[in-house]
Amino acid sequence: MNILEEKLLSAKKVAITGHVNPDGDCIGSVLAIYNYISTVYPEIKLSAYLEEFSDKFMFLKNSENIKQSVEEDIEFDLLICVDSADIQRLGFSEVLLQKSKESINIDHHVSNTEHADYNYVEDVCSTAELIYKFLEIFKIELNKKIAEYIYLGIINDTGNFRHDNVTEKTFEICSKLIKVGVNNHKIANILFSMSKEKSDLFGDVYENKVIDDKYGFIYYYLSEEKIKKLNVTKDDTDGIAEFLLKIEGMELSLFLREEEGKRKGSLRCNDKYNVNEIASIFNGG
């Protein structure tokens, strides 16, 4: 028996959470764990917490059960953090660490600080792939619902299988997910579709990108003024760093967005650079 099973057998109240600005891997991983616990341990009182996320993810069953704030008087026996490399990435749900007797951290980022009492960190393509491995260990039978959660996480963090984090095991897992009913076309379209505002934004990215050919470096800066002008949301900016890296000859991309007077950056790279080392200089990863 592993630690997760051991702790769930004795827990009465469990919380699940993930990182700020939750993406498909974070949301899919939270819901996969939520589904597993609610099915196998129905006696556990279960709560899931994430920042507000795009309506496009509401097609996922149980997504409506995710809370956007933590109750003041609540306590938990166990907190499960997914896809969160450090405590700061938990945002508002960081307080759950103080409200929980023990914590488990499940993540795929090599920069993970192992911030929980028990840590499962493995360098795979996504946290969703890591959670699939848990389900295999627990001999949980796949169904369409949980397969959709995991598939969403995998294609989110692999750029629909474009990134170099994809392995033979990734495709093997996805073939099994599709076998139980996952609709690749539907989920990929939901994840990568564009609003009119987003298409206008990406046109501006093409027009105003900056390239340093010497280093194969490309970046784009989005000011608050332009955000208002283009009438774009935070969701519309998803994927810009990956988009920039698609341009021929580019090895490293940076997307910077101004937000309430501060600047948030997203870095992506190919094989030439170690993006984690660069991001760590700025306390990122």
Q: List pLDDT tens digits, range 12-40.
A: 999 999 999 899 999 999 999 999 999 99
Q: Is the pLDDT of residue 283 over 80?
A: no
User: What whole-number distance in Å separates Cα of residue 52 and Cα of residue 223?
Assistant: 22
> Residue 22 corresponds to which amino acid?
P
Q: 154-168, 207-221, 256-270: which range is least confident on average?
A: 256-270
The two three-digit tokens of residue 85, written as one number: 């490399």
pLDDT of residue 200: 95
Alpha-carbon distance 55 to 195, whole Å?
13
Position 274 confidence tier, pLDDT thresholds 50, 70, 90: confident
**First-last CA distance in the chain:** 32
Whole-prediction pTM value?
0.84
Give the residue from 14, 256, 271 showing the smallest Cα distance to 164: 271
For the residues of 78-104, what is the DSSP string, one character each? Answer: EEEEES-SSGGGGGGGGGHHHHEEEEE
pLDDT recorded at residue 101: 97
User: What is residue 277's predicted lDDT score, i.e. its pLDDT?
Assistant: 78
Rounded Cα distance between 67 and 31, Å, is 12
Does residue 46 surpass a pLDDT of 90? yes
Structure tokens at 192: 């990568």
> Rounded distance, CA 132 to CA 122, Å?
12
CA atoms of 274 and 252, how far apart (whole Å): 9
**Considering only CA atoms, which of 221, 283, 211, 281 is closest in space to residue 251?**
211
277 to 148, 175, 244, 249, 284: CA distances (angstroms): 33, 33, 20, 21, 9
H/E stretch holding 154: helix 144-158
What is the pLDDT at residue 285? 61
- pLDDT band at 275, cuts 50/70/90? confident
Lowest mean pLDDT among 115-124, 142-151, 271-280: 271-280
In percent, how much of the chain has pLDDT > 70? 99
